[in-house]
Amino acid sequence: MSDGDCLFCRIVAGTIPSRRAYEDELVIAFHDVAPRAPTHVLIVPRHHIASALELGDADGPLLGRMFAAAAEVARSQGIAEQGYRLVSNVGRWGGQTVDHVHLHLLGGRPFEWPPG
């Protein structure tokens, strides 16, 4: 898949509309169109990385920014104090359906452990 074929790259570029919750020079966060919780926001890097399997040491600052963005979104959505879950699905068996690394921020209700 080329970057131009990637759903999340098109959302980042603005060619597919989204309800954005956060954005900076490295990442954007937008509300999931099929939410699995009262708050369900996706945090994605602006540049294409297909999977967490492609991440390396040089991606540390990006990952830090993604987690900082998640915390900011949790605060702005009013779920930070009660808690939330961050999920990154990797590969088909891990449940990854879009080949662009991303975090799911889920909140607004209690979650069970173990998941799935």
Residues classed as catalytic: 102
CB 103 within 8 A of CB 86: yes
